[in-house]
Structure 1
Amino acid sequence: MKLAVSTLGMPGEGLDRAIEVATAHRCDGLELRLHPDTGVHRGLTPEERRSARERVEAAGLEISALAGYVRVCEPGPDGPLVEALRADLELAADLGAPGVRVFPRGDDPAVGARRLRAVSDAAARLGVRVLVETHDLMPTGAAVAGLLEAADRPGTTGAVWDLLHPWRHGETPADTLAALGPWLEYVQVKDAVSAEDTTPVPMWTGSVPLDEGGELLRAAGYDGWVSLEWERTWYPQVAPVEEILPGAAEWVRRFAPASGTVPGDAVPGDAV
């Protein structure tokens, strides 16, 4: 597993500060929220895109994904949404990110499937995937899998398993993983007070079944990205993300497959 930290946990602090936090805690990457207050958004010029990519790479980090806000199932005309998603995919390619997170924000898989198919050629050309998060009106693994199966674009689409949302809507971690199956490309980890109160809390101090999810992922051999999604942007009263990252790193160490890498592993050039 590779550990990333989302810039959702660092509102208004900018890319350089995010790089500083990630490197200080020996993360492998950054999940970049697409928003002006993070310094990364689709309005960046070519020069700004090159600069952002170079700064991340110079720090020895990867960009695990772009956290976009396109709503693939939202009612309305396809054109503006498809155009926005293509722009996010272009940005991901320019920054070297492997995928763009999107939300459902609708419950009709036929609508989302049509839009995912519309961007499939562009995604394939750019080498970037559209990653649908278990969220809002499709919070379960079963719902997201249904959308992705309807789109039938396995080479250019995938799923983000946010460990909070399927559980709080009554789907067990085992059922989520079974439903997502081959679609699973990315995991977002966090803890919260309860299914009813989603206020973020430090790892293992809330109610999210972190150990159950981790054990299932380890047994399945999952060795992809795990991102700490500390929602300080939405809950400004919670602790800084720096205080939460050690717990996320411990979760990755605990549940990484035996053959996988974990945060803090020696890399070529490290003293051993």
Structure 2
Amino acid sequence: MGFADQRFNVNLSILFTELPLLERPAAAAAAGFTAVELWWPWVGSPTPERSELDALKNAIEVAGVRLTGLNFYAGQLPGPDRGALSVPGQESERFRANVDVVAGFAQSLGCTALNALYGNRVDGVDPAEQDALALENLAFAARAADRIGAVLLVETLNRRESPRYPLVSAPAGVGIVDKVNATTGLGNARFLMDLYHLSMNGEDLPSAIDLYAAKTGHVQIADNPGRGAPGTGSLPLEDLLEQLRKAGYEGWVGLEYKPGDRPSAQAFDWLPREARAARAAR
């Protein structure tokens, strides 16, 4: 089972980045995939022009792929930022302005998973103040997601690459999920289990799966070390995904790894082409 029994999508913000944004959905389709996800593509603009949104929507539709996940505005990503929603002032305001834009775009493409990165700690600001702001903004995003039938994802990163990001363990991420659900009463906040980030934090991955699979709304993978394709590092990703499946996880597995020194289209040799097209949920 393992890889052959998963529903994979390709993250077009880390794979196929050698191509212009509007060419990436077709490139994923040409590689045999039928589903994609994205970080917020316009890092400098939480509210891009309608023409830019329409062009991306058209590129996804023409390629014949499904958009299964989308990040809210998170500042400069990739780059030094790790989210905006807990950052007081302009960044928090930009996040809130972005929420309805993301929800509308996601709804137009049938996307039902929206990821909200928490944001870095800020010098001179009480962490408790940032946490209160984060909860307020996450609840705001959860309500917007609920209006379109989507889940809100909360992601943990790793302390080595994101030393100022406060959610660097599975318990921390799940704790925020629980707080959001308690605040809204909607129950649509879910944990984004990124096996690469958890492994970078030294977590016991089988235990994390046992404890948190039921609260997981999305999974992302990359091997470790190196954040490359499965098989380039030492993580037993096939076994871990099989454990998730047996634990009841039936959602998407996002391929969020670096292709290395080769075109992205050549970075999928670990996965037979017949296993790339998404299967229906079991």
CA deviations 1:252-271 (Å, max 9, x no partner) are 98xxxxxxxx535899xxxx
Partner of residue 63 from structure 1, selected from 41, 63, 67: 67
Residue of structure 2 equivalent to 1:246: 269
Question: Match of 2:71, as an amino acid?
Answer: A
Give the TM-score of the pair, scaled to structure 2. Answer: 0.73
CA deviations 1:99-129 (Å, max 9, x no partner) are 2222223476544322211233322222233
1:239/1:176 Cα in 2 relative to 1: closer, same or farther (>3 Å)? farther
Residue 69 of structure 1 and its aligned partner are, at CA, apart by 4.1
SS at match of 2:153: strand
**Does residue 263 of structure 1 match 2:267?**
no
Residue of structure 2 equivalent to 1:53: 57
Identity over aligned pairs, percent: 22
Q: How does 1:116-135 map to 2 (within 5 A)?
A: 116-135=138-157
Query: 2:156 touches 2:192 (CA, 8 Å); kept in 1?
Result: yes
Query: 2:115 touches 2:155 (CA, 8 Å); kept in 1?
Result: yes
CA deviations 1:179-238 (Å, max 9, x no partner) are 433331111111132xxxxx3333212123313422311211322111111236xxxx63
Pairs aligned (count): 245
Residue of structure 1 equivalent to 2:136: 114
Determine the C-alpha separation between the residues in 1 that align with 2:278 and 2:85: 40
Query: C-alpha root-mean-square deviation of aligned residues, in Å?
Result: 3.1
Residue of structure 2 equivalent to 1:167: 199
1:227/1:120 Cα in 2 relative to 1: closer, same or farther (>3 Å)? closer
Q: How does 1:9-158 map to 2 (within 5 A)?
A: 9-11=15-17, 13-36=19-42, 42-45=47-50, 47-70=51-74, 71=83, 74-77=86-89, 78-106=92-120, 110-135=132-157, 136-152=165-181, 153=184, 154-158=186-190
Q: Which has a greater percent of strand?
A: 1
1:265/1:29 Cα in 2 relative to 1: closer, same or farther (>3 Å)? closer
Give the TM-score of the pair, scaled to structure 1. Answer: 0.76
Question: Match of 1:157, as an amino acid?
Answer: A
Determine the C-alpha separation between the residues in 2 that align with 1:30 and 1:170: 28
1:264/1:138 Cα in 2 relative to 1: closer, same or farther (>3 Å)? same
Structure 1 residue ranges without an equivalent (≥5): 194-198, 254-261, 268-272
Determine the C-alpha separation between the residues in 2 that align with 1:105 and 1:219: 33
SS at match of 1:161: strand
Question: Match of 1:74, as an amino acid?
Answer: S
CA deviations 1:31-89 (Å, max 9, x no partner) are 1232249xx974141x5434433442343310011134432663424544323333322
